[in-house]
Amino acid sequence: MKHIAATCLTALALVPAISSAQTLAIGKSLFNAQCQACHGTPPRLSDNGGRGINNPNAIRSAINGNKGGMGYLSTLSTQDLTDIAAYMGAPTGVSAAAATANERVLNWAEWKFQTMLLPRATSTQVGPYAVRGYGNGLYVGMDDATVYLYSAANGLQPVGALSSFLSMAAADGF
């Protein structure tokens, strides 16, 4: 009992210490789960979704106005929208440690090759490979060293070292 109380107190004491980096990481995961499918991954916000950057009220009014069918997002809290807006304004502020190299490169690839890699996908781990499949039958996969493309027509093709794709992703803010 004493121990539980002590643990709770410790947790409470930590609340004000939550850093903005964590807020951004939370905003990122919320954005990826709730917004990315329609708006893409920041920094690509060429549509009016960019109005939500650092502006949770703009997101709330888009939800209230059911813009683009967004009305179903009404369960998102004000804190959620604040975190999302902050992340949209600082997508590069999420520390690299917050996502694995594979996820960073896959997210970047979807942003970079956005007409080819659709609809946006989540990764499946297949043995050592993180894999995402797309509507046109193309798969992008990678282990911790090499990036591959797979399609029925061309089979499995290595397209380069993960490290060089990671540099390109980092240069674009992923």
Which residues here bind ligand HEC, judged by CB under 6 A?
Answer: 34-35, 37-39, 47-49, 51-52, 58-59, 62, 67-70, 73, 76, 84
User: CA-based angle 25:14:11, to the nearest 5?
Assistant: 105
Nearer to ligand HEC, 84 or 138 (CB): 84
d(CA 168, CA 174): 9
Nearer to ligand HEC, 72 or 113 (CB): 72
Q: Is 13 exposed, middle or buried (0-12, 13-18, 19+ CB in 10 A)?
A: exposed
Output the smallest distance, CB 26 to ligand HEC, in A.
13
Output the smallest distance, CB 70 to ligand HEC, in A.
4
Nearer to ligand HEC, 61 or 157 (CB): 61
Nearer to ligand HEC, 38 or 156 (CB): 38
Contact 40, 114 (CB under 8 A): yes
160 token code pair: 């380069």
d(CA 101, CA 98): 10
Output the smallest distance, CB 78 to ligand HEC, in A.
12
